[in-house]
Amino acid sequence: MAIIVYNYLTRRKEEFKPIHEGYVGIYVCGPTIYDHAHIGHAKAYVSFDTIVRYLRFRGYQVRYVQNITDVGHLTDDADEGEDKIVKRAQKDRVEPMELVETYMRSYFEDMDALNVVRPNISPRPSCHITEQIGLIELLLERGHAYEVNGSVYFDVSSWPEYGKLSGRRLEEQEEGVRVAINPEKKHPADFALWKRAERGHLLRWPSPWGWGYPGWHIECSVMATKYLGQPFDIHGGGLENIFPHNECEIAQIEAATGKPFCNYWLLNNMVTVNGVKMGKSLGNAIPIKEMLTRYRPMTLRFFILSSHYRSPTDFSEAALDAADRGLERLTSAVSLVRARLQTAPDGDLDAEWAARLEDYRARFVEAMDDDFNTPRAIAALFDLSREVNALLNSGQPVSRATLEAIHDLYQSLGGQALGLIFDEPVRGDLVSSRDTLVDGLMRILIDLRHQARQARDWAAADAIRDRLAELGIVLEDGPEGTRWRPSR
């Protein structure tokens, strides 16, 4: 069976065929690093993480490249205004690259918390000045660019395909252009490849056109093809950047080389708050770090995956609370299986369950093969959990082999592919396995409380609960035993 993806280049669902059998090269537009990441970033990078995870789950060897923009992204998201990083660095009175280090670290902390696997390469435009100048020189040579006063612009009228991704015709584009048109441009839709920078500008490099810095779009054309070749398989990004950013990426590299840039464009939809797009510059962005003081990281990941990546995700407390309960349904079934495994009798894998698990795997794969339909994939896991709960509460003995098969399926689908379910905690050293240790300590404490209750020593049982509450941990007693979670 093939994976079907919605390709924004053709505006239809297509069978995914990699350029090299068994390998996938994917480039995703990364964040511009000048502040902490917000929920909009979480949606984008959890979505593409899940796509990468699923491609690996399906046996592909994936090279995942995601840039970190550290220069050239101007405050108006086009060619005018200040560099976002320079502006913030001046405000904070730090060297721009110091600002970038700080927020790059913060970004990866957040992504690690959300169980987002690191990209194989995280290139930065300030690290590819030579390569960007090289591509601009090629564009000048081939007549697709022109230099004015030390800045270089792409000549959109020289490349008839301009607009092919976003579907905007040149005439339409003019209408959207801001009132103050840069007089250096021959055509209002022309865009900057290189911008002149005066002495004193904090981020500038020498070039054949004098001191300056690259335009925002050129980095992606350069870094994607440098690390993935041309054409490569998949370009990911956010739908809000389809124009001008993604459109310009294509124009730059295809006009210069005469070869296609990439085969599939996958774009995620936005996060909204009461229907309004969430964004840093819109003033309604909720930092991931703030969210994580109130919700478990996996709740946020579950929330994101419970809608499709191409649909908008509307943020609300109620939706997050619902996600928390949904995640709990999944993880409690997994915990129950794990608990039963401790005392399971030996025995063969139940044939009926073997077939049932195969059906669930097929249903999950079918959902994910259909343009990575995570809500449908999660629904399959919910149905599985309902059956698992019924089995385990039926009072019938369940063999170790059957329980292991169920557990493996959860690990494979919910863990490896969706990144929602963690491996069974195993004994580990303190350095690398804090989570495992916390889990182990909690199991001892829950058992001690259980013993106290069985001995009707209510005071002792309550004391344990109260001291855990002081540490911010809530115990929840249920039919399947006691579970714990951080209090909000």
Name the residues that contact a copy of itself, by CB under 8 A.
63, 94-95, 97-98, 101, 105, 113, 118-124, 126-131, 133-134, 205-206, 227, 292-293, 296-297, 427-431, 434-435, 437-438, 440-442, 444-445, 448, 464, 467-468, 470-473, 486
By beta-carbon proximity to a copy of itself, the closer residue of 19 and 354 is 19
Cα 123 from Cα 135, distance rounded (Å):
17
Burial environment of residue 281 by CB neighbours within 10 A (0 to 12, 13 to 18, 19 or more): exposed
Q: How big is the CA angle at 20 (ends 16 and 23), to the nearest 5 degrees? A: 75
Between residues 206 and 375, which has the closer beta carbon with respect to a copy of itself? 206
Nearest to 66 by CA among 202, 209, 224: 224
Q: Which residue has the tokens 């350029």?
A: 19
Minimum CB–partner distance for residue 113 and a copy of itself (Å): 6
Angle at 407 between CA 406 and CA 409, to 5 degrees: 65
What span, in angstroms and rounded, lies between the C-alpha atoms of 205 and 191?
19
**How large is the angle between the packed helices 351-369 and 400-410, nearest 10 degrees?**
0
Q: Which is nearer to a copy of itself, 169 or 434 (CB)?
A: 434
CB of 430 to a copy of itself, least distance (A): 4
- CB-wise, 253 or 368, nearer to a copy of itself? 253
Kindly give the pairing relationship between strand 313-315 and strand 271-273.
parallel
- CB of residue 206 to a copy of itself, shortest distance in Å: 6
* Residue 445 C-beta: closest distance to a copy of itself, Å: 6
Closest CA to 59 of 114, 15, 3: 3
User: Strands of 276-277's sheet, edge to edge?
Assistant: 276-277, 271-273, 313-315
Cβ nearer to a copy of itself, comparing 59 with 427: 427
Cβ at position 120, least distance to a copy of itself in Å: 5
Is the Cβ of residue 150 or residue 188 nearer to a copy of itself in the bound state?
150
d(CA 306, CA 315): 12
Q: How far apart are CA 381 and CA 99, in angstroms?
A: 42
Q: What sections of 243-315 are H helices per DSSP?
A: 247-257, 288-291, 297-305
Q: Please give the Cα distance from 94 to 98 (Å, whole number).
A: 6
Distance separating alpha carbons of residues 285 and 287, to the nearest angstrom = 6
- Residue that is written with structure tokens 């478990």 in the block: 296
Between 203 and 384, CB nearer to a copy of itself: 203
Closer by beta carbon to a copy of itself, 397 or else 472: 472
Place of tokens 């199991």: 443
The CA distance from 455 to 277, in Å, is 56
CB of 431 to a copy of itself, least distance (A): 5
- Comparing CB distances to a copy of itself, the nearer of 4 and 473 is 473
Whole-number minimum distance, CB 448 to a copy of itself, in Å?
6
- Shortest Cβ distance from residue 101 to a copy of itself (Å)? 6
Other C-beta atoms closer than 10 Å to the C-beta of 179 total 4
127 or 242, CB closer to a copy of itself? 127
Q: How far is the CB of 124 from a copy of itself (least distance, A)?
A: 7
How far apart are CB 207 and a copy of itself at their closest, in Å? 8
